[in-house]
Structures are given as structure tokens and as C-alpha cells.
Chains A and B, each alone.
Chain A
């Protein structure tokens, strides 16, 4: 039976293709890392027999004879039956499987080539490819890279999105709100008017509100400490407001980085005085959850806090899971436990301090009683290992000094291969739904490789050369045809061909089939992606179209009304919703209490602020449907929206319904859509009329505001508004 299976596998692979070469990064490194490196790897304290297998120059001295597996000591040892000879030794909990032995043998037979991982190689400055597809020219460098790949795969870019949809996409992406109802939408969008709209939205202060939220996810921002006590942090918002401002002022990303890692060490004294204006940027490090319970070991709590800082910087700036090296040398990436604590050492002499005037939480260097940092064996804060000095990761280009300021400068130095790539990828992911690297918090060897490595490097280089301007980078991306493409699959109906003519239905279907076959995940970007709105954008959209949204920027967080089923004795039992129209502010300002997360947001995948969230999940659950149908804020928004439309003097029901549709979805309804709405509306009105006053409950608290003669019409419009706000089109960014 077994032989049969193997035989059929062999046949299948022989037919398909010759067996692929063994890849060091994909096949070999994971084996060596998990079964050999512990004693023969980067960690010099644990190294046995002076043998290193992680560096080729060392490995080929004795253990490996490239091309000659039978002459290699390594193969002899791993195949040995002598218990004193065999490797890994019998005492090891991790013996090699026969498949792994075979892979190692093949790899040596093929020359034992090592590979450096792409993300640790220097950022290159690739040339923009000449357009390989003369039928779809575009002067934009991004398009050149994307279309070059598409052409190689036999795919074509999708046509440009229509004007109303494109404008809606741009508003939602750049300022996190739908276009205003009174925006006049041209049927034809010229390049210059599109560019003007981009500039206008980038200059809009609501841009900072939207994009700061992306950063706050990574900064694990919250307004409370977490853990059992979950004490309030009444001044945490000062950091949040600083981030909003930084985005609105387009603070260069290198400066933005330094301000957060080591803003306290910058010499920014006002001339002639001793007064130092401290940037709230270092509040970044104060966002982590903090265990302040009585009886908590202070030393352990401190250690956990520092570990969180190190791990967060690793994920956010370098896209590395360096946290793995906290207990042991990293299994996949070249990060030793010694590296980890050398990095940790940059933070070992910091203390928490609050600004004397604003009370903003800050980080500062201690002046007295400085600590000598050491390796914490197995990640145990009580087990002292060798002493270490502050140092950046040994696998990356080194830096000069040993202060936090120098660490920050190292992060944003042009020689650092990670920071610019990671930043560019993160911004890209917010405009396409996925990064060029689909594991934005893992650029290491167990993450995914970039779909367009050259484009990634070109963007990273361009980003650094243009002074790390995020607004400029965003503009570059949204000006590309790749961004402006249609997001639909264009399956059944005709699809516009590149010349602008309506192509036949069959060619549309063919294209669909081709795309879903060649590139089911749309990695090559032969179209835009539809993206389920982020929780905040969804709530804000509902408030915006209904006219309830209160636009104040910044200031202390507010408390929305909590649903009845969310409660916890002692914490939320005395929850009091903020007064007046405070509760209609943007979701960014909803108080984030780690123990009482606002369910309307978490249901739509808002993060819990426990760790840095680099990429949100995008789930689709029945609870979301229930939230859209029944949650207070959406019900109230539908009521207000209905009344808003009712106030517009209108000649007919159908023009009123068309208005309602336009306000909600930013386009005129198609005739068949209007027909369906009209039928539903009429049926509802009949139902309401026959039910009597009971049916007017639909208007809730708005009932007294409606003239009695219009009450039934208002109720029917509320029902219709609820339908529109539940549509997939409303819930998604096109």
C-alpha cells in the first residue's frame, strides 16, 4: 500500500516537473534551525565542538563537502546507528525524520548553497521597467512594475473605476469618511481634477484622524492600564493627538521614528533658556498594558514592560518577530538571545515620567543607579546570564553608539534594510487591502516573500530620497492606474477593454476565469480589492451619512452608550455615557478600556490593544449582521438619515428615495434598484398605517421631532434607510 502511494507520487511529480532544487531558505534552514543550531548555531555560549552550521564558510571546513554527501561528516553523523556518533544525540528531544535526512543529503549533493534572506539584503534602487505591454501604457513607475509582472503572467490590468466609485474609494481611504452628500460628482474625472481631489483630501485635517488610527493599532494605544485593576490613563490621549498632528503636518517618518524611540534625548532647548519642550512621542512606549496589582513582583512587571517595548519595536519598525529570541536564539532568523538582550539594553535604563505641564506620559533616561544589562536565561527574569552592552542586531549593518538616540538613528539610516521596506509595505497595505509582503509583521524567513520585490525596493528608495514623506508616498500610490483600477471580478457582464470599448460577454467571462485560475488571491493586482470597512470607518460612515457626526478633532476620549449585555461588576457597572453630542464623535476618540472594549468596534475586528496590531483580521460573522441590524448606533443613524432626507423639500417619493440612496451610497440608483426600493417603501408604509401608533416606535427618540402628518412617511423612510445601511455596498470600500 505504502509503496503504491510513493509510486503514484513519483509518477505524478515526474509528469509535472523535474523535482525542484532543495531551497536553503524554504527547506533546509528550518531543519537546521530547529534541530542543529541549538548546539551548532549562532549562539556562542551554547556551541559544541566549535562547529557552526549556520554560516557556510564554517560549515564547509569539516562538516559539509558541497556536492559530496557521502564524504560529508554531517551526513555520516545523521545517518549513524552508533549512539555515541549519531546526531542529534539520542538525548535530544528532536531526532531527524527520514524525510529531513533525505532533504539534507539532496541539498549537499546540489552544492550546499546557503542563501541570505531577501529582507536582510540592502535595499536596492531598481530601474523602472520599460512597459512590456504596449497596449496599456502608463507613465507611472508603479504601473510599470505591476504591468510588467502581469504581462509575464498573461494577465491584463482591469479598466479604471468609474468616477463616483473612485471618489468614494479615495474618500474612505484618505480621510475614512464617505464623500459628502452635496459633492457634485463629475461623470468624467480628468487626471488633473483627480489629482486636485487627492491634494485636497491629503490636506484635510481628517486625513490625520484616519491615518493615525493605523499607527495607533501598532502603538497598542489604549486609555487604560489593562489587567485586573485596569486603571484609567486620563492623559494617554496626548500621545494620540500628537500622532494625528504628525500625520497632518506630514512629519517625516525618520523624524517621527526618532521622536518616539528617543524624543527625550533630542536637544530641543529653546534658545537661551533651560526650558526643554518634550515631544509626547515617547508616549509610544507608555501605551503597553501595565500590571499594577498589589502583590505583583515589581521586577517582573518591569521586565515584562521592557520586553514588550523591544518586541513592539521589532514588529512595528523592523517587521521581525524578535520576541522569539527572548527565551532562546531565534529558530528561523539570525537573532540570538544575546542579540535580544543587547537590544533590550537600550531600554534597561529608562524610567516612566510624566510631563510636568501637560501630564503627558513620557519615557526618560535614568540618571542615577544605572543597571548592567544581562541575558535573562530562558527568558526568566530571575536567571542571570552573561552581561551584554547595548547593540543592534548582529545580522544587520552595525551602528556606532550605544544610546537610544543612536538606536533610533540606526533604524532610519539608509543602510538599514528593513525600516523603509516595512513602512512602505504598511502604507501600501492600507490602500490595497494587502501588503506587497503579505505578512507585514514578519519580514523574517518564516514570513512571506514580497510579490513585487523590485517595486518594494523602488518605493522604499523613493520614500527615503523624498525625505520620508508619507503624504507624498500615499499620493504616488493613489495616482497610479493600479490603485484606480476596477475592484470587481467583472464576471458575467461585459468588461471594458483597454481601448474603452465594451467587450463581449464571453471575453469578460474568460478574463474572470483566467484571473481566478492564475491569481486567485490577486497578488499580481490585475484589479483593485474590495475591502470590508474597518470598524471605525463603518461607524463613522453611518454617523456621517445621517448627519449626526460631530467633527471636533482631538481632546480626551469619550464614552459611547454601552449595550446592556456588556458589563462587568466593579468596572463598567458605573459606566456613564458622555453627555450631549460627544457620543457622535469619530470612533478614534472612543475610550479604549482594555477590560471593557466597545463591542460595536471589536465585532468588526478592531484590535484589543494587547499587542501591536500590524494587520487587522477581516472577519465576516453573523454577529456583524446582528450589529448592523440591531446595534443602537446604527439604528439611530438610520433614523436620523431618514429625517435628514425628509427635511429636503421634494416633489415625489421616488426622488426622495433616490436622495436617500445617493446620500448613503454616493451614486444614483439604477432604475431597477429604485423600483425595488419604491415597492418596499410602499409596502412598509401600508404596514405602518394599518398597524397604527405602535409602528411609529420605529422612530424612537426622533418621534417628537416629526410633524404628525409626516410620521408615517418618516417611519417608512427609516425602514428603507436601515436596508440601505445594511447593504454590502455600504459596508465595503469599493
Chain B
């Protein structure tokens, strides 16, 4: 069975994964290097600027990892932004108004994510409903429920939570100020969690049976079915995992903003999808890596960072540059898929 799976994966666009990943990483390196050269006087070359990419996007990295998993199966999840808002709101509400501990808040965040994953996964895999529609309903539901919990902004003042949020981890690297004082770069625990998730999912996708099954389903659902894979169960698992990661990512997001608010994380799902696509995940499924997605998030962060540093451009340019990049990657993917298809026909 495992051999069969390996076969399927090999026949499906060999090298495409590596190629797309390489382009993404190259793009990031080029972009960041340009930033370091052009804005060297504006602190772009400082290591902390790089760390900030992770600090600001820790939640998004985790959420995008979840999205990558469902996108590998050929699905999509656009509810993650609303799940994030709901998680932040419920966590803030539990800690501030219900007097619960930060552990309960974290647990409820994961449970919310899990619940979204289970319900959406069931509808998509066992009732064969389009993932787009199911998760669109999830998007509305999540945002609506957030407003039901509270339309007010809730600030988290829970001491332990703030301790988590503000626990700076100093790194051995840093930069030396003009007057000779060494300022170490720092990250927050959220970054560590996000990176661990990336590593774990990478191992899962590359080394575990479940990972290979995901690629097989995304590559060709029909042949995966004929090989005796339980397609529905694998899909279900993918969405549950995606939901869980959205819950966890939402909590990390909350650690960054320290607040629950109904308008929070609006459009986050689109950021996550674009990160995955830029990271080399095919929307049609079968191809994608979370390392690529990580770089997709970093590219998005770099664009935002470059435009903020520039200081006079409207921040809407972030969107414009992102859309251009997206187009570039989609076209690239279409070409690769096209070439692969022709080869198969021969």
C-alpha cells in the first residue's frame, strides 16, 4: 500500500514541488536583500526586523499551515479568519468576564477550532458539499457568533496571559548601537510555537502515511479511491486538523493583539490562502509544502514591511503587490500543471 502511494506521488508532476518551493524561497531572499540594501539606513538590515516578520505573523503561519493541508487535498477553508476572531473574543471573554484561567482560554480556543473542523469536515467529506460553500457558512457563523459574545472590544488583562504574551526570548544575535551597546534580538513564545508547528506538519506530510494519503487524494481522488484509500476519512481528518490549527493560530493571534474584537482578523483567510499559493500550493490539490507556506507568509510580511519602511506609499500597495505576485504564481502553476499533463498523455 505504501509503495503504491509512493508511486502515485512520483508520477504526479515530479519536481514540481521542489521547483515551486525554490522559486518562493528565492523570491523571498531577493526581496529581503533588496530591502536590506535600499533601506539599510532605516534599520531593515537589523536582525530584529527579520524576527518581527515572525512575531507579527505567528498566528498567520499556523493558520496557513492548516489551510495548506486542506488545499493539498484539493479543498479550501475560508472560515479561518472568523474562527480567529471568535477564538480571540471567547478567550478574552472567558478570562476577563468569566474569571477563567489562561489554560481554560487556550483549551476553549482549541475546542472551538476542533468544532469548526469536525462540522465542516463532516459536511465536506461525508455529504460531498463544496468546501467553499461549507466554509463560507463557517465564515459567516464565526463572525456572527463573535458579535453575539460581545460587540464591545474586550482587552485581556489576565496577568498570566500577559506574561505569556510579553515573555521576550532574547537571541544570541542582535545588533550593536552606535554608542556600543549591544541590543539582542528577541522573539516571543508564539514564534516558537509557530515554528514547531511548521516542523511537525512537515514531518507529518513527508514521513507519515497520513501525509502521503493527503497528497494522493489531492493528486487524483478517483485513483486514490480505487487504490483502497478511505478518501472520506482522510479528508475529514484533514479538516479537523485544519480546524485545530485555526484555533491554535487564533490563540497566537490573540497573544499578539491582547484583545477580542468583532472586527479582528477580517480577511485573514485570504492572507492565509495567498500565503499558501505563493508558497507553491496548487489550488487544484496534490502539491504543496508548509515550508513553502511559511515563506509565503514571510513574503507577505516583507512586502508590508518594505512599504511601511518606505513611509510615503499608501499601505494599499501591499495588496497590489500581493495580487501581482499571486497572478505570477498562478500562471507559473498553470504552466507547470500543463507541462506535466502533456507529458502524462505521451
Q: Do they bind each other?
A: no
Q: Which residues of B contact A (CB under 8 A)?
A: none
Interface residues of A (CB under 8 A from B): none
